[in-house]
Homo-oligomer: A and B are copies of this chain.
Amino acid sequence: MKAPDVDRGVFKQVRSGIVTLLTDFGIDDYFVGAMKGVILGRFAQAVLVDITHNIPPQDICAAAFTLFAAHRNFPPGTVHLAVVDPGVGSDRRPVIVETEDHLFVGPDNGLFSPVLSLYPNARVRHVTNSAYFLANVSATFHGRDIFAPVAAAVAQGAAPELMGPTIQNPVLLKSNVFDPKADFALAGSIIHIDRFGNCVTSFAWERVQEFSGGRSIRFRLKDFEITKQLQCYEHATLGPDQPFIIVGSSGFLEISIWTGSAARFLKVGVGEPVHLEVV
């Protein structure tokens, strides 16, 4: 009689057939097309969805935020292929991350740090089974030669345990700014600026609510004190020189300006320190 296979039991998702792609490859080169060709060559029914390919080159932090914000909108059993990989060709490990609902494939460099924080019982595997790789692995394009075919196999239903052994020490980003479960910190920062100039802060609204107990909050950054908190953009009756706080669609507090770019108004970029105070 076979003992229960604990390893398989926890994460036995049905696959959605969807493979999302997130890279810093841009959309001018042949890189993304090459990855998609490999996936479709291995798994013809794959449904390919681009998250973005315009992560700033080698910016693992930006990729980690974007992956974190996007993945939750996909159905269970989706494979998220993320390749921002400054260490390509080195001995950094290729990994698969399994959570209850999602699978992630990419390099072990911190890219999955926020996801691992959100899903504490996630399992991480070192992808070592080269039977799933392309026949000739290049030194410079593991996105095509390793990650794409592995993602295709897993999206098609291959069990992650076929890919390699679990590991306990995945690389984590040093900062915990993305961590929605981390202890609340008064000192945060701007972690992303979107196309509209909205400044996403490291403060998760869920955590802020627990911390503030319903009292008002304010932000301080540079010489600015921002006290107004709005429910949506349209309700804004503030002028174009009055930034306000709003709960962003990713679940983090953002700083916005009515019909303008808060980033340009505040003259801030990613990394700018933001202090939150309960008043």
Known: A30-B69, A33-B20. A195 touches B57 (CB 8 A): yes
Distance of A37 Cα from B18 Cα, bound (Å): 9
Does A221 sit at the interface, judged by CB under 8 A? no
Does A36 sit at the interface, judged by CB under 8 A? yes
Mark A218-261 against chain B: 1 for CB-CB distance below 8 A, else 0: 00000000000011111100000000001111100000000100
Q: Is the CB of A247 within 8 A of B138?
A: yes
Mark A21-44 against chain B: 1 for CB-CB distance below 8 A, else 0: 010111111111111111011001
Distance of A88 Cα from B140 Cα, bound (Å): 38
Does A128 sit at the interface, judged by CB under 8 A? no
Distance of A52 Cα from B54 Cα, bound (Å): 13
Q: Is the CB of B30 within 8 A of A250?
A: yes
Q: Which of A69-113 contact B (CB under 8 A)?
A: 69-75, 78, 86-92
Q: Is the CB of B16 within 8 A of A73?
A: no
Contact of A140 among B16, B87, B195, B248 (CB under 8 A): B248
Q: Is the CB of B70 within 8 A of A54?
A: no
| Chain B residue nearest in CB terms to A28 | B54
Closest Cβ–Cβ distance, residue A30 to chain B (whole Å): 4
Distance of A231 Cα from B195 Cα, bound (Å): 38
Distance of A66 Cα from B34 Cα, bound (Å): 10
Contact of A73 among B28, B41, B74 (CB under 8 A): B41
Copy count, this protein chain: 3
Residues of B within 8 A of A183 (CB): none
Q: Is the CB of A16 within 8 A of B40?
A: yes
Contact of A90 among B53, B91, B92, B232 (CB under 8 A): B232
Does A131 sit at the interface, judged by CB under 8 A? no
Residues of B within 8 A of A139 (CB): 230-233, 246-247
Does A47 sit at the interface, judged by CB under 8 A? yes
By DSSP majority rule, is chain A's interface helix, strand, loop, or mixed? loop
Q: Is the CB of A49 within 8 A of B28?
A: no
Distance of A90 Cα from B90 Cα, bound (Å): 51
Q: Is the CB of B144 within 8 A of A73?
A: yes
Q: Is the CB of A69 within 8 A of B247?
A: no
Residues of B within 8 A of A184 (CB): none
Closest Cβ–Cβ distance, residue A2 to chain B (whole Å): 33
Does A268 sit at the interface, judged by CB under 8 A? no
Interface residues of A (CB under 8 A from B): 16-18, 20, 22, 24-38, 40-41, 44, 47-54, 57-58, 66-67, 69-75, 78, 86-92, 138-141, 144-145, 194-196, 230-235, 246-250, 259
A-B contact pairs, 9 of them (CB 8 A): A16-B40, A17-B44, A30-B69, A34-B249, A37-B78, A40-B47, A40-B49, A48-B49, A89-B234
